[in-house]
Amino acid sequence: MIWNEERETMSDSKKRELHSELLRNLVKRVYEKIPFYKKKMDELGVKPSDIKTIDDIVKLPFTTKDDLRENYPFGMFAVPMSEVVEIHTSSGTTGKPVVGGYTKNDIDMWSEVMARCMAASGTTRDDVVQNAYGYGLFTGGLGVHYGSRKIGANVIPISGGNTKRQIMVMQDFGSTILTCTPSYALYLAEVGEEMGVDFKKLPLKAGNFGAEPWSNNMRKEIESRLGILALDIYGLTEIIGPGVGNECEYKEGIHICDDHFYPEIINPDTGEVLEPGEVGELVITTLTREATPLLRYRTRDITSIIPGKCKCGRTSTRIQRIMGRTDDMLIIRGVNVFPSQIEEVLVNIEGVEPHYQIIVDRVGALDVLEVQVEMNEKLLSDEIKELEALERKIQSEIESMLGIKVGVKLVEPKTIARSEGKAKRVIDKRKL
């Protein structure tokens, strides 16, 4: 369902006009209010008056995560603290968390974009949203909360964890929409199955899953085990939190709410802007954010812009689902490896669970990669011979996918840690 016809199906020319106007205002604002940007722009010799249309965006400086860390906590705020009504931080997956501030208008904008994302998965005012993203400084919980409220759905603010209680609430309150990380959705399925729950008999119908990369095969697994439609939601604290974009029912890429977040794809090594279809780092400019606006923020997330329009009627820019982040990308003997590629293989193999961990180590001068994957209960009783054959099969499938040698080890059921939030897929012993 399209939440905001006017904004989500805007013509190219109208959007161009809007983008140009918002960018001019944004640049004036950050130049006057944020010393960091004044300095950066002065160094590049760019004045706010040089920015006339959206095409001039390439004249503007990038912003990196390190820039935000150097200005921690409030150095990048463009409004006095009395205008700030809420603060969040990133999960800190890759280091010191970064801080995002919200004015009253920012919270309204966040509610709006989240309403679009949740409506895309079919949420209406008649739905019961079981919100199992963490509430707190992390943006997931409150983002979904604000979106649900805007739609007028009934939100259950259960937060993450306490999995048996999640299952009980789902049954007793008749949850129709589930929101959590994809790894946690799978864990919920596992625990529910152990409790003898038949999810297909429950009213649960769809979910917005995100905050970490997940493969299409993982989606199929979640959809079949929970009996729902599973769509991908994308976002990051620096930009707003969840709500930067969501898939529609066609599952052909993530629609970016591009009237608020202007996307570009760059070559991460040179900073050169890439064409639609070319894979690179996603860069986003927050066109309307008041408290912590960002020019050309380098997300470190790897994707491409999808050329052409979507069948759903939305005209918003679409990106491919995120492959991973530049920080997660392992370079093994010169080959780029994302955990999501390995997941894609594992989820298709009979007898193993999509619970896995990737161990990277250095032996002498050589990087070695081992994939530990859980076998399921059925397989546990099999002969050693058969287990070894399965290990070899997984190994050869991963090797043909990645083009490098890997080790594979089957481990006993339920031995890989389950996560209530973002799953930790890679253990890099090289850094220890």
Residues of the shown chain interacting with Zn ion in the complex, contacts defined by CB under 5 A: 248, 250, 310, 312, 314
| Region of 13-21, 84-92, 219-227, 259-267 interacting with ligand ADP (CB under 6 A) | 84-92
| Region of 209-217, 370-378, 382-390, 397-405 interacting with ligand ADP (CB under 6 A) | 209-217
Considering the complex, state which of residue 111 and residue 303 has its C-beta at the smaller distance from ligand ADP: 303
Min CB(49)–ligand ADP separation in Å: 33
What residue 312 binds from ligand ADP, Zn ion, none (CB within 5 to 8 A, per partner kind)? Zn ion
Sign of the torsion angle spanned by Cα atoms 407, 408, 414, 419 = positive
User: Binding to ligand ADP (CB under 6 A): which residues in 24-83?
Assistant: none
Is the bond into 213 cis (omega within 30 degrees of 0)? no
Cα(41)–Cα(383) distance, integer angstroms: 66
| From candidates 8, 67, 106, 232, binder to ligand ADP by CB under 6 A | 232
Is residue 319 a contact partner of residue 304, using CB atoms and an 8 Å limit?
yes
Residue 249 — φ and ψ, nearest 5°? -65, -15
Q: Quick check: helix, strand or coil at residue 176?
A: coil
* DSSP state for residue 202 in the 8-state scheme: S
By CB under 6 A, residue 134 contacts ligand ADP: no
Q: How far apart are the first and last CA of the chain?
A: 48
Cα(218)–Cα(230) distance, integer angstroms: 10
Cα(254)–Cα(244) distance, integer angstroms: 9
User: What stretch of H or E contains 226?
Assistant: helix 216-226
By CB under 6 A, residue 280 contacts ligand ADP: no
User: Binding to ligand ADP (CB under 6 A): which residues in 315-354?
Assistant: 322, 325
What residue 219 binds from Zn ion, ligand ADP, none (CB within 5 to 8 A, per partner kind)? none
Sign of the torsion angle spanned by Cα atoms 337, 343, 348, 353 = positive
The DSSP bridge partners found for residue 55 are: none
| From candidates 9, 93, 105, 326, binder to ligand ADP by CB under 6 A | 93
| From candidates 299, 304, 315, 317, binder to ligand ADP by CB under 6 A | 299
Number of residues counted as binding ligand ADP (CB under 6 A): 20
Cα(93)–Cα(146) distance, integer angstroms: 24
Min CB(43)–Zn ion separation in Å: 40
| Region of 121-129, 155-163, 205-213, 348-356 interacting with ligand ADP (CB under 6 A) | 205-213
Min CB(64)–ligand ADP separation in Å: 13
Closest by CA to 207, choosing from 231, 233, 235, 240, is 231
By CB under 6 A, residue 281 contacts ligand ADP: no
Is residue 245 a contact partner of residue 239, using CB atoms and an 8 Å limit?
no
Considering the complex, state which of residue 20 and residue 91 has its C-beta at the smaller distance from ligand ADP: 91
| Region of 166-174, 226-234, 390-398, 412-420 interacting with ligand ADP (CB under 6 A) | 226-234
Min CB(276)–ligand ADP separation in Å: 20
Cα(118)–Cα(22) distance, integer angstroms: 25
The two three-digit tokens of residue 142, written as one number? 């409150």
Residue type, 400: S
Quote the crossing angle between the two packed helices 12-33 and 35-44, to the nearest 10°.
110
Min CB(140)–ligand ADP separation in Å: 7
Min CB(299)–ligand ADP separation in Å: 5
What residue 310 binds from Zn ion, ligand ADP, none (CB within 5 to 8 A, per partner kind)? Zn ion
By CB under 6 A, residue 211 contacts ligand ADP: yes
Considering the complex, state which of residue 254 and residue 266 has its C-beta at the smaller distance from Zn ion: 254
242-255 in b/e form (b: 16+ CB < 10 A) is: bbbbbbbeeebbbb
By CB under 6 A, residue 246 contacts ligand ADP: no
| Region of 67-75, 89-97, 264-272, 373-381 interacting with ligand ADP (CB under 6 A) | 89-97
* Cβ burial, residue 45 (10 Å; 0-12/13-18/19+): exposed
Residue numbers of the site for ligand ADP (CB under 6 A)? 90-94, 138, 210-213, 232-237, 299, 301, 322, 325
